[in-house]
Amino acid sequence: MYRRLRHTPWSLILPALLLVGIGLAAVARCDELAGSNGRFFYRQIVWCEVALLFFLATALPSHRHFCRHAYTVYGGSIVLLLLVYLFPPINGAHRWIRLGPVGLQPSELAKVACVIVLARYLRDRDQLRRAPGVVGPVLLALIPALLILREPDLGTATVLFPVLLVMLFVAGTPVKSLAALVLVAVGLLPVLWTQMSLEQRSRVTALFHQAGPGETDDDEAYQLRQAKQMVALGGVWGSFWLGEAVDDPAAYRLPEAHSDFVFSVIGERFGLPGMAAVLALFAWLVAQSVAVGHRTRDPFARMLAFGVAALLAVQVVINTGMSVGLLPITGLPLPLVSYGGSGLMTQGIALGLLVNVAVRPGYDITPEPFQSFEQ
């Protein structure tokens, strides 16, 4: 145990802690603008403490336990995704399991469960070198993605496909098979469009009809306009240093600012340096996650590290892109920064898995090193 503690990977933990700190400051700013007397801020502190417990629960035991019980974890996440329909919808969506005052969002847990089961499946699958061998991992990712889409939650569902592609590539799947998989996914986009609600479609179309200077946005683009306006109000240095740009409270009104659009709030509060710092910290965290995957000689652990790295990177790209009008609004929170108990708990689990792999770089399953990244 002492040796494990002595080799604690602070290069992973430090950027995560800094991101959580920035998130708390942003949530406090949301409370200030909304006049909610710190309601979200104090709840977020509690969620941080809960996330710490889940982090320790996944960081301390060997990752062999997660490999052994990967399919059980995956099956449990599927059951939770089905249980949401036993609870009344919130804002027209079945995304939550309510346990008194506490709500659990199973789709957040399903993302990490999917990474764990894919790492277990891909650790020793030689048939991946043939196109039919890709069917198994595709089905493992497709089942939770379809259940999440049905809630509906387009943002979370779209995360799983790029994560799957990254893990297949690292596992040694031929580029031709990956290209065929991408072509199939692109061919299915019209089918996905027909299954989307009018609100979801409007979020996509709003991206291509953004108003120019002096023009007025459609009602469907209200969130996008307000998100970009928040960044513009912060200017270069942000209101933390320069004060609020205008006195009109309506200018700072942004629905779901504490969760989906927290990156815009960071831009308003800390300006361009704050936004750049967040992106740099995420780049640091993802790079260190990839480095952990390269160092380990255990095939399951390597797939796990690359899967978590991909999960973080994809969520950051989608959230920050939609906050500045480069991607459609999907309602996907920013990892470690956005308000939310289920999200922080899941990210604590993901970070714990990374630390788990980092302190155990030796093989646990086979004495043969995993195939090199270049293969």
Residue 183: pLDDT above 60? Answer: yes
pLDDT band at 373 (very low <50, low <70, confident <90, very high): very low
What was the pLDDT predicted at 194?
76
Q: Of 357, 359, 312, 368, which Cα lies nearest the Cα of 337? A: 312
| Residue type at position 197 | S
**DSSP string of 34-98, one letter each residue:** HT-TTHHHHHHHHHHHHHHHHHHHHHSS-HHHHHHTHHHHHHHHHHHHHHGGGS--BTTB---EE
Classify 103 as helix, strand or coil: strand
What was the pLDDT predicted at 4?
54
Q: Of 140, 145, 165, which Cα lies nearest the Cα of 155? A: 145
Distances 127 to 29, 133, 260 between C-alpha atoms, Å: 52, 5, 40
Classify 102 as helix, strand or coil: strand
Residue 375: pLDDT above 90? Answer: no
Q: Which tens digits make up the pLDDT trace of 86-138?
A: 888 877 778 888 877 778 899 999 999 999 999 999 987 666 666 667 888 99
Where do the H-state alpha helices sit in the chain? 2-6, 10-34, 39-59, 63-68, 70-83, 106-122, 135-150, 154-170, 175-187, 189-195, 198-207, 222-234, 239-242, 262-295, 299-323, 341-358
Between 209 and 90, the higher pLDDT residue? 90
Classify 335 as helix, strand or coil: coil
Query: Tokens representing 46?
Result: 């509690």
222: exposed, middle or buried (Cβ count in 10 Å: 0-12, 13-18, 19+): middle
Beta bridge partners of 98: 103
Residue 162: pLDDT above 90? Answer: yes
* DSSP at 367: S
Separation CA 317–CA 325 (nearest Å): 12
Residue 370: pLDDT above 50? Answer: no
Q: Where are the domains of the chain?
A: 7-197+221-358
What was the pLDDT predicted at 62?
86
| Residue type at position 75 | G
Report residue 97: phi and psi, to 5°.
Answer: -110, 115
* DSSP at 188: T
Q: Is the peptide bond before 213 cis (omega within 30 degrees of 0)?
A: no
What was the pLDDT predicted at 209?
66
Residue 329: pLDDT above 50? Answer: yes
Between 144 and 218, the higher pLDDT residue? 144
Residue 303: pLDDT above 50? Answer: yes
Q: At what angle do helices 262-295 and 10-34 cross, to 10 degrees?
A: 170
Report residue 99: phi and psi, to 5°.
Answer: -120, 85
Q: What rounded mean pLDDT belongs to the chain?
A: 85
Q: Which tens digits make up the pLDDT trace of 27-79?
A: 999 999 888 888 899 999 999 999 999 999 999 888 888 999 999 999 999 99
The mean per-residue pLDDT over the stretch 147-163 comes to: 88
What was the pLDDT predicted at 374?
36
Between 42 and 190, the higher pLDDT residue? 42
Between 205 and 338, the higher pLDDT residue? 338
The mean per-residue pLDDT over the stretch 190-214 comes to: 70
Residue 159: pLDDT above 50? Answer: yes
86: exposed, middle or buried (Cβ count in 10 Å: 0-12, 13-18, 19+): exposed
What was the pLDDT predicted at 372?
39
